[in-house]
Amino acid sequence: MTEQRAGIGRLTASIVAVAATLPYLTIKTLWLTGDSVGVSDPALMEGGQMMGMNALTFAMEAVGLLLALAFTMRWGMRLPAWLVLLPLWVGTGLLSVLAVTTPLILLVGGLDVFSGGPIRTWVYLVVYGGFITLGLALMTAFALYARDRWPAVFVTPVRSPFPSATRSLQEVVAWGALLAAAAVAVLRVVLAFDGTAQAIQNGVKAVLAVGGAVALVALVRRRGNGPFWRPLVLAWLGSGSLFGWGLFSMIVRSTGGPLAYGGTGVADFAELFGMLTGLVMGMCGAFLLAERSGVGHVQPGQDALEGEDRESDRQPADHGHR
Verify that 287 and 216 share a domain, yes or no.
yes
37 residue type, one letter: V
Please tell me the predicted confidence (pLDDT) of residue 260.
59
Verify that 253 and 232 share a domain, yes or no.
yes
Please tell me the predicted confidence (pLDDT) of residue 177.
97
Please tell me the predicted confidence (pLDDT) of residue 309.
42
* Tens digits of residue pLDDT in 162-186: 888 999 999 999 999 999 999 999 9
How far apart, in whole angstroms, are the C-alpha atoms of residue 199 and residue 197? 5
Verify that 137 and 181 share a domain, yes or no.
no
Verify that 175 and 199 share a domain, yes or no.
yes
pLDDT band at 315 (very low <50, low <70, confident <90, very high): very low
Other Cβ atoms within 10 Å of 7 Cβ, number: 13
pLDDT band at 133 (very low <50, low <70, confident <90, very high): very high
Residues 249-254: what's their mean pLDDT?
86
Verify that 211 and 138 share a domain, yes or no.
no
pLDDT at 140 over 80: yes
pLDDT at 282 over 90: yes
Residues 92-120: what's their mean pLDDT?
90
Q: What SS3 state is found at 94?
A: helix
pTM given for the model: 0.85
262: left (phi over 0), alpha (psi -120 to 50) or beta: left
Mean pLDDT of the chain: 86
Domain range spanning residue 117? 8-149
Domain annotation covers residue 303? no
Please tell me the predicted confidence (pLDDT) of residue 262.
52
How far apart, in whole angstroms, are the C-alpha atoms of residue 39 and residue 50? 13
Domain annotation covers residue 311? no
Question: Cα(first)–Cα(last) distance of the chain, in Å?
Answer: 17
Most confident among 162-171, 186-195, 262-271, 296-305 (mean pLDDT)? 162-171
pLDDT at 305 over 60: no
Look at the chain and report how many structural domains it folds into.
2
Q: What SS3 state is found at 119?
A: strand
* Tens digits of residue pLDDT in 63-89: 999 999 999 998 999 999 999 999 999
Domain annotation covers residue 55? yes
Domain annotation covers residue 193? yes
- Among residues 93, 169, 92, 171, the alpha carbon closest in space to that of 134 is found at 92
- Residue 187 near residue 266, CB atoms below 8 Å: yes
pLDDT at 261 over 70: no
Could you say which of 149, 184, 209 is where a domain stops?
149
Phi, psi of 172 (to 5 degrees): -60, -45
Verify that 145 and 39 share a domain, yes or no.
yes
Who wins on pLDDT, 312 or 134?
Answer: 134
Please tell me the predicted confidence (pLDDT) of residue 313.
42
Please tell me the predicted confidence (pLDDT) of residue 157.
93
Verify that 162 and 244 share a domain, yes or no.
yes
Verify that 96 and 227 share a domain, yes or no.
no
* Tens digits of residue pLDDT in 185-224: 999 988 877 777 888 999 999 999 999 999 999 999 999 8
